[in-house]
A and B are shown apart, each in its own frame.
Chain A
Amino acid sequence: MNTENPLKLDDFLAIWKSDNNRYLQEFFDASAFLDTKYGFCYENFVPDNALTPLGPDGVTTFASAQRRLSPDAMAKYKAAMAKNIGRDVEGFMAYTGSIMPFGDALTPVDVLAQTQWEETEQLLGNASSIMSTWMTNVQNLVNSADSLFSNQAAQLMSTGKIVGKNSEDGAVMYVQDALIPEENKVTAGAKAWTDADCDILDQMRIIEDAYRERSGDDQDLNWRIPLAMWRNVFLKNTGLIAKVKEWRTIQELPTSSGGTVLEAWVVAYLNSLGLTSPIRIVHEGEVKQDPINGGFSDTRRNVKGWNPDAAVLMPAGTSGLIKKGVIQKAKLFSRFSNESAIKYNIAYIRGGLYAVITSVTHDANGLPVYHVDLEGNSAPALTCAPYMTIVDTKTAD
């Protein structure tokens, strides 16, 4: 792309028409136009470099092997010639899961749109506005994939499972279960955390101690609390507010702001207390448009993948890998497409987790039709499932 002279329409149309199949890839890479709006998955999961293979039975299966931690014990005193008592040899836990294709697209436009672009270019003297409008649309496509990952990642981290469906009452199209050990799915403790007089911190400490005792796990852990729970449960807990005020009074600091305490005060209090592992607030949320009326729902809903009642104690580092498989359409395009019937350009995004495919077909009386599709075949997978504890905060023991 020539960046010094005014952008010409031909530069834009080259996205579909260039003979260089990597034009689109180079364009995205060089322009750095695409942002990450939904980053929750990428904050917690790392794209897997290896490609998950597609089996002959049509299943893209990945395997995940995890070692369960068990507490060790001291050796025993014994007579010199006495036999030893054998201890169980630990195996490793393995599970397989499959990944699922997903996609989105821009409405294909035809030669009439092209004519419109040409007239716009003549009017403005360059094609920059056409290009930037188009990039906004592509950004939306990229957001659709990132937000799907974000939703899946939050489901995995807060429930150990992904249950994928396009609408509330629609068919479940995809299920992945990371097999979090049953003993690591626990209830809230003496009281539900939502009770205003619940001693949340002490209950968290008991849960954390029990996990460490049970597993012998001494790695750095974090508590993950969804934002709504932090605001509606933690910051409204009378015991916690009183303790924060008391702690600030000792230090001769202000103790009330509009009748309550500030988030920053609570965080500072918790950090200085060291009663539990650090708390990280989960900021995650997506927009869903149900495929009602054949895909054209009038309503868009705000959804969250994170189970609103779940608090999770888990390792501090990354939570897993984003597994990727072969993108069937991209493979078929690059292997079998006929240049005279269709011209395509593929740009892989985020290391091949998904791809934007532009193609131009000549199916409207031989006139061009411009397509932009997003195609992906990937999903996040947990690698720390055995070391996670999921707390049902609304149910007391």
Chain B
Amino acid sequence: MVFKNLLGKGFLYFDGAMGTMLQAAGLQAGELPELWNIQHPEKVQAIHGAYLAAGAQIIKSNTFGANCLKLEGKGVTVEDVFGAAINNARIAMEQAKAKGTVPANRETFVALDMGPTGKLLQPFGDLPFAKAVEIYAEEVRAGVKAGADLILIETMSDSYEAKAAILAAKENSRLPIVCTFTFDLSGKLLNGADVETAFTMAEALGVDGVGFNCGLGPEQVVKLLPRGVESVDLPIVVNPNAGLPVVKAGQTVFAVGPEEYGKLMKEVARTGAALVGGCCGTTPEHIKALCAALQGMKPVNKVVKAPTQICGYGASVDFTHMPVIIGERINPTGKPRLKEALKAQDMDYVCNLALEQLEKGAMVLDVNVGVPGVDEPALLTKAVLALQAITSVPLQIDTSDYAAMEQALRIYNGRPLLNSVNGKEEVLTNVLPIAKKYGATLVGLCLDDKGIPETAEERLAIAWKIIDRARAAGIKEQDIFIDPLAMTISTGGQNAVVALSVVQALHAKGIKTIMGVSNISFGLPARDHVNSTFLAMAMEQGLSAAIMNPKSEAMLDAYYAYGALSNKDFGCKAYLEHFAGVKQESKPQGPDSEYSLRDAIEKGLTGPSRKAVETLLNKGKQPLDIINEEMIPALNTVGEAFEKKTLFLPQLLMSADAAKAGFDVIKGKFGSGKEDGEPIVLATVKGDVHDIGKNIVKVLWENYGYRVVDLGKDVSPETIVAATLEHKAKLVGLSALMTTTVTSMEETIKQLRAAVDCKIVVGGAVLTEDYAKEIGADAYASSAVASVNYAKKVFGK
């Protein structure tokens, strides 16, 4: 019988630890356990045999830690190791049945076991997401070829890595997939995702079972289990350790014995687990005790109807209480400064917009980078990567470009909202399969080939068409959000009423709605008044999510006031928090304005610096004069004091921040002025991920008016050469922090010398004057100030 048919019928038993057993059989610390599949197949088979005899039905292949990275230089391929491992499990099963240690009618299965890669994915480490998918894909293909019955993705402590493994499994096999995660006592993965988030993401990607393994013992897992059970409509797996690990005289041990394990697992079964087994420290005796303890019991009949959740890799967001606030600011429509930033691929600007909105209470961020003339798939991917590097809140991926959609959904670390599909045939055909594949929740716009209908009835007809088609494509009705499309009341008096009646009608049928609220007032004066009232009206009709500007105080006020009035904000908790915050923020404004710009910069005061620049601009002083007569002399004073060691690093940085704040005011009013200024290419070299030092240099150079082309960190020599040529840079700055990456700096210098005529200045913790010369640099900058001095020398100013 196939594995899937047995899911949900009775308990299914996994085996226990492989590593613990291999160590007992003589595996040394530092030895790769998976090589034993080939070197000592009989020992691996004996372990499988012992578990089968104990009652295990699902045997995990001895492949947990093996992958192409770890097998490099070992003289065997992934296919060799995985093939041998699956074969060992299969042989053990045949022997067990032949010997009668397992009844002939018991269903047994070989699970292809895939663990973590041992690498962190970018941007946390250096493994690109695509490469992670490739690593797992190779394992899946080997497992399928060798005849595995199912795929077990286990001990996942990073939801992003789990996504890579699940995608690889889906794309390279039709086998059932079970995915289990390792949480800490508080129910979090190492990357911060909680139980609900990890399970939601796995379910959305289409696994057949999710669960817990490793990290905790049964006693701890049972406390997290209800959260898992309630967050997904899937069978739940629990493979815990034999208790929490304890260090005894420098060695890690697990203390829960077989009898106790069986007893504790009974509680786990009662709480909702359907597939049970063990992890570190468990033995065939533990599994035997487990099977005995559960004898005569039946799995809890699990009918949950879990709510729709979206997530990044932190806490998930559901739509069961107050409407969800989706920050709309990362959208270039009508925002020239953002357009400019997107064209220049300035992700810092995008990240700043994100942080501003989060601070004001956005729970989800809309990401739209649609500027004519850009490579939208590449830019959207870049923006999503940049945003998920700084925040774990869910994103709403907003594009009409199918390629951009697919690429962004693929690399996204979570379960996003996808904005959008609509009633057009062509759009439905293209978008629905993408949303289904990546498990995105979906925004459906009430428009079709004929445009946006005028009446509520016609819009509802489109909504139902979208819902029907999505359902047919395998997307659950509860995962769809209909946008009735708010049109401005300045061109049609019925527009608000129409949109609201669509919300009301859908809400009555249990369909979620979403709306770009501010559109309602386009073309009107004092828009906040209309927007905030409209928001309250829409919430009263049952709106599930509002796409809005969280920086609009009037709208936020209306949001919290509505929550308090409707009792959706129980006990006015959010209301009180919101308005308490407002009070605290109104600081006295006195002394700030008393600082001159030079003083503000020298003292490292950001607020006063901003204010002083505004005052000077208001007085009619030219931006260039402000920079040359006020800012640069102040920065020079600070720089000199730093070199004389009368002033220390913290003050230098505060001054740089203060000057930068002043510049940002000028930039906001007069554009970035990016075309001016001598270009300098700056990068942290390949293999090095440290960028604080590099960023300090960047800000100082920019403060002095140079145009810094910042290539980021871990940058290949080829990229640096290409950028230097492209921007005709006369100066290149390279940073490396570790001895291991100075070699990469040396290689970069070699390639630069061969291709371009430019000066090269280097810096970083391990470098010295001599070392810099040895690797061929023109200059060594011992500090950020030294790099400014060198730039002045190169450019003669």
Q: Tell whether A pairs with B.
A: no
List the interface of chain B (C-beta within 8 A of A): none
List the interface of chain A (C-beta within 8 A of B): none
